[in-house]
Structure 1
Amino acid sequence: MIPFVDLKAQYASIKDEIAVAIQGVLDSCQFTLGSEVAALEKEFAAYGGAREAMGVNSGTSALHLALLAAGIGPGDEVITVPFTFVATAAAIHYTGATPVYVDIDPQTFNMDPAKIEAAITSKTRAIIPVHLYGQPADMDPIVEIARRRGLIVIEDAAQAHGAEYKGRRVGSLGDMACFSFYPGKNLGAYGEAGMVTTDNPDYAKRIRMLRDWGAEQKYHHVMKGYNFRMEGIQGAVLRVKMRHIEAWTEARRAAARYYDKAFAGSGIQTPRQSEGCRHVYHVYAVRSPERARWQQELTAKGVQTGIHYPIPVHLQQAYSDARWKRGDFPHSEKASDEVLSLPMYPELNTVQQDEVVAAVLETAKQLVPTR
């Protein structure tokens, strides 16, 4: 079986470095925040072109605290997309605010800027574009609308470590940006972790307090906060992985080019990299109206696949809302019905990719009409 992702292969390649890093934390006993997290924050901020970075315990917490730092709360509305992992909407709900959805561009899977103006009301306070699958959203028009309408822009960059938009890294394109270091991400911890980046020192100060019980100094709580601190071991692990992130990213991009070339002319709808962008291929998603059969056939042929994501947020039972129904966001709904993610990770070799390609092309002959 060709795995969808192979975390063991990556661990094997850096095992000795990881052992040294973890031992350093055990020796220092700085298990929560500490010097490793502080060093990671500086390194990650520099990598993304931001002035500040604040480590937290998950990507979801990063979104939650970014919204709170921006003053978002009950009665406010935040514009985002329904074709995303549920955490994007969940974080908005955590603040007491209400998510308002706009549809995606069917080619990029990202927020369609042309849909934003119609969704803005007197209650709108922020926009959260999602850099889905590692492809940057079209940020210039999004930021232009936000500046003109007095709105905050928070990038959901959970899947886009190292992605670039017109020569700038994601994480430096809005007012704040939020990253996930879930183990399967392009830069993944050995557990849960996340990060917020910003150029705004006031936002940075608020997030540092909010992640640590709202304390300005120990036992001096100036706001109601949370226990959202990053663990020292995760900081140490991520610092090791930061040394490899560019090589791993280029390996993903090479694997994507290999797939692109192999599937050219087959009728298979492959990912499109937007002009002026660096796609980092957290996910390589193809599309088929016969997805269920396609996935079943590929599994039988020894190829593991994934679906990101099978149900858009507005149709999830937990997030149902009388304002939204099936048909309101047709591009998001169609993508949810059709996307199928193929194996994609830096250690994926050409022998494995050839097996994937052969299985996909054989299946496509039956399920995808030739162009």
Structure 2
Amino acid sequence: MSRRALMASAMAPNERPSWPVFGPLEESSVLEALRSGRWSRSSGGRKVLDFEEKYAALTGAKYCLATMNGTSALIAALNSIDVGPGDAVLLPPYTFVATLNVLLMQHALPIFVDSDIETFQMDATKLDTAYTQECIAVMPVHLGGAAVDLDAVMNFARRRNLKLVEDACQAHLGEWKGRKVGSLGDCGCFSFQASKNLNCGEGGALITNDEELANRAYAFHTNGRPKEVGSGLAYSRNGANLRMTEFQAVILLAQMTRLEAQSRVREENARYLAGMLAKIPGVQPARLHEGCTRNAWHLFMFRYLEDAGVPRAQFLKALGGKGVSASSGYTPLNKEPFLLKMMEGRHYTRIYGQKRMKQWLEQNECPVNERLCREAVWLPQTVMLGSRSEMERIAEAVAQARKG
């Protein structure tokens, strides 16, 4: 699809993009799946398999497992590497709550690694300080579509003999030194939820180059039934039903035909907008790590410094008044009241002991992340599908909104 055609299909008359972008291909694909009468993998459908093959090829991974959503992909990943009670996993405090929730479902201990203020990513230089003997895995997040410092994270994981699960739920087509994110660790997980750059309403995928891990994840996602033909109702492990439907798969296959063109539009606009915003006092676009050779731009993130002008809440209100959709992003995940309640509750106390949980509560500090949460501003990926003149309008709105 050409840039002109993409813009015509994505833009409303006021130059704000609509989402999702769809057309006759999605409509005919869904109708074909409906009329087939085979609406799932378990009823003989083939479209989920087609999607898995194409997504594996797109990401450069040997294996792909499609799931009902990104959270399901993370759950399958943790079970495939046998994370459970008594284990700890390193993760960032600046991420969507699903990254934490999947650990809590396993009754694993979340160990938060403070953020890097300039990149918004997990600060890999603080991994060794956060590490404890309970750690079995590290789960970095490629936040907003940009890569965490994967060289540093991979070196740390190898040195500590930890599994590496990449949460790439926001990073479709993102790259680290020319390789697709999600394909460098033991496994990587993606989301196809409605806001994502590749979208089927809900959906997810796990990718890996490890055949044994792929087989364990497959069995887990279909109630413990192994992949081998003729397994019938034999079970190789515990599991859950996390299977993707044929309807999700056919929408994804259609959306994949648009993905590269949309990604290029986002990249061009993000570079242009970042250049303009960097010239505005008190506004600092998120820096990319040197190895991040492609940003998926699920989010355009910048910091509105605390002394930049009017308070951030007033700044965001002024932006909204000028027709710019922006948000303040995440709050400190490590300080969520529900989490602190769980850490003091009977389940975690029984597993880890009162002394360890008291120590966890005392050490649960991420001061850089708290500052980041006070300064962050997000623009959604749909904004990056706008026109070049729309980027200029956003930059002008940011400059004016600093005054309230």
Q: Which residue of 1 aligns with 2:209?
A: 199
Q: Does 1:222 pair with 2:244?
A: no
CA contact (8 A) 2:278 2:284 kept: no
Q: Which amino acid aligns with 1:73?
A: G
Q: Which residue of 1 aligns with 2:313?
A: 292
Q: Structure 2: which 5+ residue stretches go unaligned?
A: 1-11, 344-357
CA contact (8 A) 1:25 1:31 kept: yes
Return the match for 2:245 from 209, 231, 235. 231
Q: Which amino acid aligns with 1:17?
A: L
Q: Tell me the alpha carbon deviations over residues 223-258 of structure 1, each in whole angstroms, 9 at most, x when there is no partner.
A: 221111001111111111112211111111111012
| Cα distance in 2 between the residues matched to 1:91 and 1:232 | 25
1:1-371 aligned at under 5 Å gives the runs: 6-8=18-20, 10-11=21-22, 15-33=23-41, 34-189=45-200, 191-216=201-226, 217-267=231-281, 268-277=283-292, 278-288=294-304, 289=306, 290-309=311-330, 311-320=331-340, 321=343, 323-324=360-361, 328-345=365-382, 347-364=385-402, 366=403
Q: Tell me the alpha carbon deviations over residues 294-316 of structure 1, each in whole angstroms, 9 at most, x when there is no partner.
A: 1111112222212321x121111
| Cα distance in 2 between the residues matched to 1:155 and 1:343 | 22
Q: Structure 1: which 5+ residue stretches go unaligned?
A: none
| Cα distance in 2 between the residues matched to 1:231 and 1:68 | 21
Q: Judging changes above 3 Å, is the alpha-carbon distance between structure 1 residues 271 and 214 closer, same or farther for their aligned structure 2 residues?
A: same
Tell me which structure has the larger Cα radius of gyration: 2
User: How far apart are 1:327 and its partner, in Å?
Assistant: 8.3
Q: Which amino acid aligns with 1:22?
A: V
CA contact (8 A) 2:16 2:386 kept: no
Local SS of the residue matching 1:269: strand
RMSD across aligned C-alpha pairs, in angstroms?
A: 2.0
CA contact (8 A) 1:69 1:203 kept: yes
CA contact (8 A) 2:53 2:64 kept: yes
- Count of residue pairs brought into register by the alignment: 360
Q: Tell me the alpha carbon deviations over residues 300-343 of structure 1, each in whole angstroms, 9 at most, x when there is no partner.
A: 2222212321x121111221245347982112111112111125
| Cα distance in 1 between the residues matched to 2:95 and 2:66 | 22
CA contact (8 A) 2:197 2:381 kept: no
Q: Tell me the alpha carbon deviations over residues 258-278 of structure 1, each in whole angstroms, 9 at most, x when there is no partner.
A: 212222321211122222311
| Cα distance in 2 between the residues matched to 1:334 and 1:5 | 32
Q: Tell me the alpha carbon deviations over residues 76-127 of structure 1, each in whole angstroms, 9 at most, x when there is no partner.
A: 0000111100110111111121110111111111111111112222211000
